[in-house]
């Protein structure tokens, strides 16, 4: 996983609540056996018209947002299906940070596993950042995970909270599995206990 430390980039405004993972990547694009290459289907039902041409009204089809690295949205971002294809599609498009008042649990989890930082900030702060994002290329946001602040184009710093363990993993690009396997002895002894107390759980 690519570490996430400090990002300065174009933020795209997506002023909607309940952006579900079917919107982020419709199910018909889940038939892949790879993680890469999903960026071209990100928000497919909004980005493309029925004939396959680009919809110029959608923000990610407009300059400078084609190069957005940050997304600003409203409540309950990432609700619905557990598909990790949603963060894969965001990442493949180039988005490494989503800022919203809150996130659905599974999407929130999946983001951290892929080097995407979800930043939770109150609605009124997100509205301010939405205004910044609407200024396009003249208004880059900085997301500093080391200092846990978002820096607005006017220099104002907005602190945010993030789980310490997840921050550590993101800053260092750490793979969870390797870390968990360091606890192999504990897992072995848990299984030994369970095997004798609940033998029906073992074939």
Partner 1 sequence: MAEARPRTLFDKIWDHHVVETLPDGTALLYIDRHLVHEVTSPQAFEGLRVAGRPVRRPDATIAVVDHNIATDATRRTGITDPESRLQVETLEKNVVEFGVPYIPLLDARQGIVHVIGPEQGLSLPGMTIVCGDSHTSTHGALGALAFGIGTSEVEHVLATQTLLQKPAKNMRVTVDGTLPVGCTAKDIVLAIIGKIGTAGGTGHVIEFAGEAIRALDMAGRMTVCNMSIEAGARAGMVAPDETTFEYVKGKPYAPKGEAFERAVAWWRSLPTDPGAHFDKEVTLRAEDIVPMVSWGTSPEDVLPITSTVPNPSSFADEARQAQVQRMLDYMGLQAGQKLTDLKVDVVFIGSCTNSRIEDMRMAASIVRGRKVADGVRAMVVPGSGLVKQQAEAEGLDRVFQDAGFEWREAGCSMCLGMNPDKLTPGQRCASTSNRNFEGRQGPGGRTHLLSPAMAAAAALAGHLADVREWQPQ
Residues making contact with partner 1 (CB under 8 A): 15-18, 20, 22-23, 26-28, 30-35, 45, 50, 74-76, 79-84, 87, 102, 104-106, 109-110, 113-114, 163-165, 176-177, 180-181, 183, 186-187, 190-191, 194, 198-203
Cα dihedral 71, 88, 159, 153 sign: negative
Minimum separation from the CB atom of position 184 to partner 1 (A): 8
Residues 6+ apart with CB under 8 A from 50: none
CB of 159 or CB of 200, closer to partner 1: 200
Residues facing 113 on adjacent strands? none
CB of 28 or CB of 63, closer to partner 1: 28
Minimum separation from the CB atom of position 189 to partner 1 (A): 9
- ∠ CA 156-158-164 to the nearest 5 degrees? 150
Minimum separation from the CB atom of position 81 to partner 1 (A): 5
CB of 66 or CB of 123, closer to partner 1: 123
How far is it between the farthest Cα atoms of the chain?
65
CB of 53 or CB of 201, closer to partner 1: 201
Minimum separation from the CB atom of position 201 to partner 1 (A): 6
Nearest to 190 by CA among 178, 202, 176: 202
Residues 6+ apart with CB under 8 A from 168: 174
Minimum separation from the CB atom of position 132 to partner 1 (A): 18
Minimum separation from the CB atom of position 138 to partner 1 (A): 25
CB of 27 or CB of 135, closer to partner 1: 27
- ∠ CA 178-179-180 to the nearest 5 degrees? 95
Nearest to 143 by CA among 162, 169, 124, 164: 162
Strands, sheet with 97-100, edge to edge from the N-terminal-most edge strand: 117-120, 97-100, 70-73, 6-14, 140-144, 149-151, 157-159
CB of 20 or CB of 144, closer to partner 1: 20
């Amino acid at each position: 996983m690519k570490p996430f430390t400090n990002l300065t980039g174009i933020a795209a405004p997506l002023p909607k609540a309940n952006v579900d993972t079917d919107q982020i990547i419709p199910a018909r694009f889940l038939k892949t056996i790879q993680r890469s290459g999903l960026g071209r289907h990100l928000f497919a039902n909004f980005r493309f018209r029925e004939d396959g041409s680009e919809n110029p009204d959608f923000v990610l089809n407009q300059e400078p947002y084609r190069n957005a690295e940050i997304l600003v949205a409203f409540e309950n971002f990432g609700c619905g299906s557990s598909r990790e294809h949603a963060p894969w599609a965001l990442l493949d498009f180039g988005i490494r940070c989503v800022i919203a008042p809150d996130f659905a649990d599974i999407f929130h989890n999946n983001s951290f596993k892929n080097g995407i930082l979800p930043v939770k900030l109150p609605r009124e702060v997100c509205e301010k950042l939405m205004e910044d994002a609407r200024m396009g290329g003249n208004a880059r946001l900085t997301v500093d995970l080391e200092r846990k602040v978002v820096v607005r184009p006017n220099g104002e710093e907005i602190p945010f909270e993030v789980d310490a363990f997840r921050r550590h993993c993101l800053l260092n690009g750490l793979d969870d599995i390797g870390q968990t396997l360091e606890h192999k002895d504990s897992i072995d002894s848990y299984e030994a206990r369970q095997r004798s107390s609940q033998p029906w759980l073992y074939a």
